[in-house]
Homo-oligomer: A and B are copies of this chain.
Amino acid sequence: MAKVLVFGHKNPDTDTICSALAYAHLKRELGLNAEAARLGEPNLETQYALDYFDVEAPQLIEKVGDDVESVILVDHNEFPQSVDNIKDVRISEVIDHHRISSFETKEPLMFRAEPVGCTATIIYKLYNENNVKIPKNIAGLLLSAIISDSLLFQSPTCTKIDVDTAKALAEIAGVEAEKYGMDMLKAGADLSTKTVPELLTMDAKPFVMNGVNVQIAQVNTVDIDEVYVRQAEIEDEMTKTIAEKNLGLFLFVVTDIINSNSDALALGKDVDKVEKAFGVTLENNRAFLKGVVSRKKQIVTNLTDAFQA
């Protein structure tokens, strides 16, 4: 049977990996020859979830091979965030919770986007709509995804539907969401072993805002100061990336998952857009962003506005 690949975005996070694994499982239950894939290494947080629920990481792919009949995108739709040869493959489905941009198809497809906090929340719904039972370990992965994207239900992207879904999934998975969730987030927030290039790429996404290339990298931590001990080295690396990728702006967002604030470092010719977007003044290239934890809902939207104004 023709193979269908299910994968999330580059620089995979927990939602991207876990939603790909779960949706591939659901599709197999519905009779498709579906396999999950990933476009990069699982981060520490994701690895914690995979280990906890005893699930292997999906296969790593660099491009979609000729033996693949179609692909299903989860947790993203913007082509620059997808596999390199995305324009050459048939996209049969998208399951996502992000804005839609830089996306197009030649033919009609199934596109299911909802403004909820996590792709896994939509996938839980699709299991139910198709009357397929969710196995214990898949429920654990979907729960991990919701905890990750919502920072344990603290992010403004988190909706009541996400919270209710997480509750139902925790029951199936047989874990206590708050305790398991904090352990998982802390596992992911250990940045001490990361090199500076790793910090800047482990959760980085490219955007095009009013024609300008913008890179937004985000890391979670329990101690912002610990990250900025290496600020000089981080700035050197960012400056290199700006030249290589012709960026107008590189924004590095360090998010304190305990207190739900961020401290962002901005470099590039368009740093004024950051000041305008958040009503702050950069000092030492940095600005404290009170209450900001969500790249999608609090950073991308405000920056897009600032670039268009």
The interface of chain A, by Cβ under 8 A from chain B, is 97-115, 129, 296-297, 301, 304-305
Q: Which B residues are CB-close (under 8 A) to A114?
A: 108, 110
Q: Which of A107, A114, A129 has its CB near the most chain B CB atoms (within 10 A)? A: A107
A305 vs B100: C-alpha distance when bound (angstroms)? 24
Q: Give every chain B residue within 8 A of A113 (Cβ-Cβ).
A: 108-112
Q: Note all chain B residues with C-beta closer than 8 A to A97.
A: 108
Query: How many identical subunits does the complex contain?
Result: 2
The reply to whether B106 and A104 form a contact with Cβ atoms under 8 Å apart is no
How far is it, in angstroms, between the C-alpha of A97 and the C-alpha of B109 when the chains are bound?
8
8 Å CB contact of A106 from B111, B129, B304: B304
List chain B residues, Cβ under 8 A from A98.
108
- Could you pull out 11 A-B pairs where Cβ atoms are within 8 angstroms? A98-B108, A99-B105, A99-B107, A99-B109, A100-B109, A101-B105, A103-B104, A106-B304, A109-B113, A110-B115, A112-B112
Q: Give every chain B residue within 8 A of A105 (Cβ-Cβ).
A: 99-101
Residue A99 contacts which of B99, B108, B110 (CB distance < 8 angstroms)? Answer: B108
Q: Report the separation of the CA atoms of residues A43 and B99 in the bound assembly, to the nearest whole angstrom.
A: 34
Chain B residue contacts of A301, Cβ below 8 A:
106-107
Shortest CB distance A30–B (Å):
15
A108: nearest chain-B partner, CB-CB: B115
Q: Are B111 and A112 in contact (CB under 8 A)?
A: yes
Instruction: Point out the residue from B99, B129, B297, B305 that lies within 8 Å of A104, measured CB to CB.
Output: B99
CA distance A105 to B98 in the complex (A): 9
Q: How far is the CB of A101 from chain B (nearest CB, A)?
A: 4
CB distance from A116 to the nearest CB of B (A): 8
CB <8 Å contact, A104 and B111 = no
Minimum CB–CB distance from A73 to chain B (whole Å) comes to 12
Q: Is the CB of A101 within 8 A of B99?
A: no
Contacts of A110 in B (CB 8 A): 113-115
- Inter-chain CA distance A304–B305, complex, in Å, is 33
Q: A100-B103, A103-B100 are in contact. Are A108 and B296 (CB under 8 A)?
A: yes
A218-B113 Cα distance, complex, nearest whole Å: 31
Q: How far is the CA of A115 from the CA of B111 in the complex (A)?
A: 9
Nearest 6 Cβ contacts at the A-B interface: A111-B113, A108-B115, A101-B104, A99-B105, A110-B114, A100-B105
Q: How far is the CB of A297 from chain B (nearest CB, A)?
A: 8
**Which one of B107, B115, B296, B304 contacts A109 once the chains associate, using CB atoms below 8 Å?**
B115
- A100–B112 CA distance with the chains assembled, in angstroms: 12
Find chain B residues with CB under 8 A from A115 CB.
Answer: 107-110
CB-nearest residue of chain B relative to A103?
A: B100
What residues on B are CB-neighbors of A112 within 8 Å? Answer: 111-113
The answer for the CA separation of A109 and B304 in the assembled complex, in Å, is: 16
Among A97, A108, A112, A114, the one with the most B-chain Cβ atoms within 10 Å of its Cβ is A108
